Amino acid sequence: MNCKSDLQTFRSAFKKSKLSLLLLTTLGYSLAATPVFSAGAEFAPGRILIKPAQGVSETTLSRLLRSHNANQRAIINAINVRIINVPVGAEEALARALSHNPNIKFAETDQVHSLEETYPNDTYFNASWHLPKVNAPIAWDLSSGKSVVVAVLDTGVDSNHPDLQGKVLQGINTVDNTNNTSDVAGHGTKVAGVIGAISNNAQGVTSIAWDSHILPIRVSNQSGGSAYTSDLAEGVTWAANNGAHIVNASYALTSSSSVNSAAAYLKEKGGIMVVSAGNDGSQWSFGDSINLISVSATSSSDQKTSWSSYGSFVDVAAPGAGIYTTSNGGGYAAVSGTSFSAPLTAGILALIKSANWNLTPDQMENILEQSALDLGNGGFDVYYGHGRVDARAAVLLAQQTTGGADNPTPDATPPSINFDLTNTQLSGIASVSVFATDNTSVNTLVLNLVSAIDEQLLSSVNGDQISISLDTTQLADGPYTLSATATDSYGNTNTSVIEITIANNIAMDSTPPSVYIRNLINDAILLSNMKVTIEASDDVGLSMIYCYINGALVASSNISPLSCPINTKKLKEGSHSISAEAFDLAGNTSLSAINFTIGSSSSGNGKTKPRGGGKGRK
């Protein structure tokens, strides 16, 4: 793809306004017309991002927004960041004003971010120079990223690429809230190949963490790959909630309060986030983020590239020039940019995680920095941060604590399943939704409708959510079961069921069921035990049948016939009664009763011929 002129336009705009967010992310919202990208745009028109201060009520917030002719558009729930509609042209002024209000923790414009990629010219480095440079071949003897899930927030991933097939999990498209994560611009496939392309298979390229899983999160539908801050923040929180151990976003995001909040949420979940330093070659003045690992780019000579941005926010440096990787459509390409320094670093973090699953995110970052090769001035500097990453040294340092290389605790946790039903009594066209969540990711979700006689498949998806419109008019009224089965990326399976009732005719039903005591006549004399048969029927559907002896419940069933035992040894000689009660789905009820005698008289032997008892009465 060729978006060089767009990148130059964005960079020029950002320099003029001293903006630090040079990433392109679009997790768009459809609550109103989604702003479109325009040449030179720095932020979404008519939209800003805010986070209320702790304890501020919704009433106070709403009143404050109304006073500025603004209103809430959407919310990123995990981090309580609000997306606010504001008058077009007033974005920067309102963000500045609200940032000084004691009720607001922070306010910022919804920045446009460009992918930090320098597109290759005709100069290609050796396809694998960066791997021996970071001592990857020695590190692979100890760790290969096995079972680690790395989320790629980008333009999508070509899951059919021969060097990525079977490596790409079910992700999400946060732009239009679908599961379509195909690559719209080619950039995400390149990033994914750097991290986790299939390796040691006698074809294609070699990745840094070849046994890791790729979780694609498409944050852009733009041909140039551009996106908004809000979309990136939403993507990070989704990754955190769906099992990502590492998150890579090849955008320069260190100064974004919203993204930092999302990265902090990810860290609370046990994950860690890597971003690009930027590609404008200048020094940026914003400070370091404790929640993000920012990566500058180096060449094969271990020098910072001329185009890599730098500053005190840089944590580490990594090779980023002439990196050979997968490309959209099944090919390969050499690429350059901090867009590829970041995923190389994310892959080394996957090696660290795989070498020791007991490490916290802060410990992983410390290992990455402490094991880096010091370049430039001694100690930390603005060009290389703590140094150029070293995979072998990082893995060895990770193994110094308890844990083992490529020996993670097997994931034995099945997905959780939740049904979204406002009422379990359904009629007409009913909305049925079911959601599955997992500590890694949900691969498949299947929804079945089960009746007393058969089972019907309603929907099956490669994802974690099913929402359907069920035409209940094609089904007989009565009880059913919704059964949902979810399977995660490691094969763990869980099934959850919920009882429902199809009730299209029930609301108008005023006719009670019929109930009969079939094989016992009135005033019969019983000398031995017997089983009484109770039959019931209804024009709409039965709910339950009960059998009582002398008012005490003896047996029950939701289907007819019901067998009700009479134990003569437990009953005294003399008169007794047996009664049958039936309920239909509308709650209408009928009762039938028969008297009988326990005794030794020869006038009855208790073996009565089947004859109808009393019919149910209203």
Active site residues: 154, 187, 339
The amino acid that residue 381 corresponds to is D
Q: How many helices (H) and strands (E) does the chain have?
A: 11, 30
Which pair of tokens denotes residue 4?
Answer: 């060089």
CA angle 79-85-87, nearest 5°? Answer: 145
Are 144 and 210 within 8 A, CB to CB? yes
- The CA–CA distances, whole Å, from 171 to 316, 327, 610 equal 28, 19, 65
Instruction: Name the CA dihedral angle for 247, 250, 252, 257, rounded to a multiple of 10 degrees.
Output: -30
Max Cα–Cα distance, the chain, nearest Å: 115
Q: Is 403 exposed, middle or buried (0-12, 13-18, 19+ CB in 10 A)?
A: middle
Runs of H (alpha helix) within 205-337: 229-241, 257-268
Contacts of 222 (CB under 8 A, 6+ apart): 24, 26, 37, 155, 184, 185
Taking the C-alpha atoms of residue 275 and residue 339, their distance in angstroms, rounded to an integer, is 8
Spatial distance between the Cα atoms of 89 and 431, rounded to a whole number of angstroms: 41
Q: How far is Cα 276 from Cα 343, in angstroms, rounded to an integer?
A: 9
φ/ψ of 136, rounded to 5, equals -65, -45
Per residue, the 3-state secondary structure of 402-437, as one string, reads: CCCCCCCCCCCCCCEEEEECCCCEECCEEEEEEEEE
Tell me which amino acid residue 551 is: G
> Is 515:592 a contact under the CB 8 Å cutoff?
yes
Q: Which two tokens stand for residue 277?
A: 């330093």
Q: Give the N- to C-terminal CA distance of the chain in Å, as an integer.
A: 77
φ/ψ (deg, to 5) at 44: -70, 130
Task: Give the amino acid at 474.
Answer: Q
Q: Which two tokens stand for residue 502?
A: 């199809």
Which helix H or strand E contains 84, and what residues bound it?
strand 81-85
Asked if residues 244 and 264 have their Cβ atoms less than 8 Å apart, the reply is no
User: CA dihedral in degrees (374, 377, 381, 383; nearest 10)?
Assistant: -80
Tell me if residue 490 falls in helix, strand or coil.
coil
Q: Helical H runs in 111-228?
A: 130-133, 136-139, 187-196
* Burial class (CB within 10 angstroms; exposed 0-12, middle 13-18, buried 19+) of 363: middle
